[in-house]
């Protein structure tokens, strides 16, 4: 990229070296340079946004290939360049922040702390890309931990078998099981510390005739968390837990619409929350993150 005569309509700073050069250019406190840096930041934000959206969308696998992924990435790069620099967009907010930073300090040429370092892989929400300030940018998702990976590996086979029978994505079930149990660390237990094998936090209603585990849990009443004792189902095996969960989602009128929302993690999680699967007002957001973590792990383990 020629930083002496900057032209953002055809290029994008997509690596740490180019990004560092942009920061250096901005340090000259030139209005034109600052404007270009802001545009490049917005382009990178847009590219990361589209990448996140694609990762959250299930693929059929029929036409997937390394060449196709490269082509999609290049297309996203061009789209991000074309969409950046629009009046009232994120670039204007970043340029304003940079200008204020330059005016308040002559000792540092670094961008303000509210401007994220794209070299670290920061992601933004859809709202941020539509023109909100850089403060709205979400935190970088953490890499899956070893315990998360081990949990997914442990239950992957039975989840895949249930998917074949019911159509409920294995990654979605594994993500929900991971979220409900703290990735196996906080599994519901019977008296004496015996595992209940209840990976999905399914409660024991009046019609349940199997074993029951009574534990203290947190329920939300009018948005406020309250501790109370609840009765949960207990199973002979983890396979039984997956089967009972799939039966609940597939056959219960309460969750009739949820199974059809398996096109995305967010839609599936939101459907479960709307149907009353959990009382936590943030359940859908937490579950979406757990599912996306699981999908990332499964791609790495494939």
Domain definitions of the chain by residue range: 16-136, 146-301
**Other CB atoms closer than 10 Å to residue 265's CB: what's the count?**
27
Look up residue 166 and give its two tokens. 């019911």
What pLDDT, on a 0 to 100 scale, did the predictor assign at position 20?
60
In this structure, are residues 12 and 82 in contact, taking their beta carbons and an 8 Å threshold?
A: no
Lowest mean pLDDT among 25-39, 55-69, 240-254, 284-298: 55-69
Look up residue 87 and give its two tokens. 């009046």
- Is 244 among the residues known to form the active site? yes
- For the cut 70, the answer to whether the pLDDT of residue 39 exceeds it is yes
Q: Which residue has the higher pLDDT, 249 or 121?
A: 249
- Please identify which of the residues 48, 76, 187, 244 carries the catalytic annotation: 244
Which pLDDT band, with edges at 50, 70 and 90, does 35 fall under? confident
Cα R_g (the chain), whole angstroms: 24
Three-state secondary-structure class, residue 229:
strand
* pLDDT tens figures, 75-111: 777 766 777 777 667 767 777 777 777 666 544 444 4
Fold of 146-301: Lysozyme (1.10.530)
* Beta-bridge partner residues of 229: 216
- Please identify which of the residues 219, 236, 251, 282 carries the catalytic annotation: 219
């Amino acid at each position: 990229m020629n930083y002496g005569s900057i032209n953002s309509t055809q290029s994008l700073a997509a690596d740490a070296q180019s990004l560092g050069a942009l920061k250096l250019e901005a340090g000259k406190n030139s209005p034109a340079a600052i404007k270009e840096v802001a545009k490049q930041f917005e382009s990178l934000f847009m590219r990361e946004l589209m990448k996140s959206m694609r990762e959250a969308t299930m693929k059929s696998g029929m036409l997937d290939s390394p060449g196709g992924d490269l082509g999609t990435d290049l297309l996203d790069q061009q789209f991000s360049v074309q969409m950046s620099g629009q009046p009232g967009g994120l670039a204007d907010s970043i340029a304003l922040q940079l200008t204020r930073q330059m005016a308040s300090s002559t000792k540092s040429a670094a961008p303000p702390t509210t401007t994220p370092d794209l070299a670290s892989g920061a992601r933004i929400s859809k709202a941020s890309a539509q023109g909100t300030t850089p403060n709205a940018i979400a935190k970088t998702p953490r890499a899956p931990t070893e315990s998360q990976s081990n949990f997914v590996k442990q239950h992957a086979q039975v989840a895949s078998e249930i998917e074949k029978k019911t159509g409920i994505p294995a990654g979605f079930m594994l993500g929900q099981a991971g979220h409900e149990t703290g990735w196996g660390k906080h599994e519901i237990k019977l008296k004496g510390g015996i595992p209940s094998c209840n990976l999905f936090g399914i409660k024991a209603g009046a019609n349940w005739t199997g074993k029951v585990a009574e534990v203290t849990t947190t329920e939300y009443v009018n948005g406020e968390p309250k501790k109370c004792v609840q009765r949960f189902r207990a199973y002979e095996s983890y396979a039984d837990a997956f089967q009972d969960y799939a039966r609940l989602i597939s056959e219960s009128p309460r969750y009739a619409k949820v199974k059809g929302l398996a096109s995305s993690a967010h839609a599936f999680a939101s459907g479960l929350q709307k149907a009353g699967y959990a009382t936590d007002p943030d359940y859908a957001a937490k579950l979406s993150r757990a599912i996306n973590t699981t999908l990332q792990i499964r791609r790495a383990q494939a």
